[in-house]
């Protein structure tokens, strides 16, 4: 089971094929934003991390995490592609059964 956000990012990079450094960068490419939002949600929901601790780990403002969580809930309802990424990362990280 994953215990740090850094490890979660490593798993996300491996599962999605994205460069780990790009996931931590300030790049706003849609594919990276989707993966980051999934990681924010996994860290908050399954790792019991606060917005402040997530924002520190990602080098983002706390409001960015809050907005990412809002997008997460919207995407989970409407976007099958997003749900698949979220579930793949969560399962590979050992956070979701």
pLDDT per residue rounded down to tens, the chain (97 residues): 778 999 999 999 999 999 999 998 989 999 999 999 999 999 999 999 999 999 999 999 999 999 999 999 999 999 999 999 999 999 999 999 8
Decide: 32 and 18 in contact? Cβ < 8 Å: yes
The number of folded domains in the chain is: 1
Whether residue 97 is contained in a domain is answered as: no
CATH of the domain at 88: 1.10.1750.10
Q: What is the DSSP secondary structure assignment for residue 93, as one 8-state letter?
A: T
Choose among 46, 23, 45: nearest CA to 34: 23
CA distance 45 to 52: 14
Q: Which two tokens stand for residue 34?
A: 């989707």
Whether residue 9 is contained in a domain is answered as: yes
Tell me which residue range forms the domain holding 33.
Answer: 5-92
Please state the pTM of the whole predicted model: 0.93
């Amino acid at each position: 089971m994953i215990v740090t956000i850094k490890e979660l990012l490593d798993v996300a990079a491996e599962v999605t094929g994205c460069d780990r450094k790009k996931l931590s960068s300030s790049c706003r490419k849609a594919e990276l934003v989707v993966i980051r939002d999934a990681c924010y949600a996994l860290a908050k929901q399954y790792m019991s991390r606060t917005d402040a601790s997530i924002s520190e780990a990602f080098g983002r403002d706390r409001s960015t995490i809050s907005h990412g969580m809002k997008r997460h809930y919207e995407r989970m309802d409407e976007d099958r592609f997003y749900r698949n990424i979220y579930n793949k990362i969560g399962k590979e990280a050992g956070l979701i059964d």
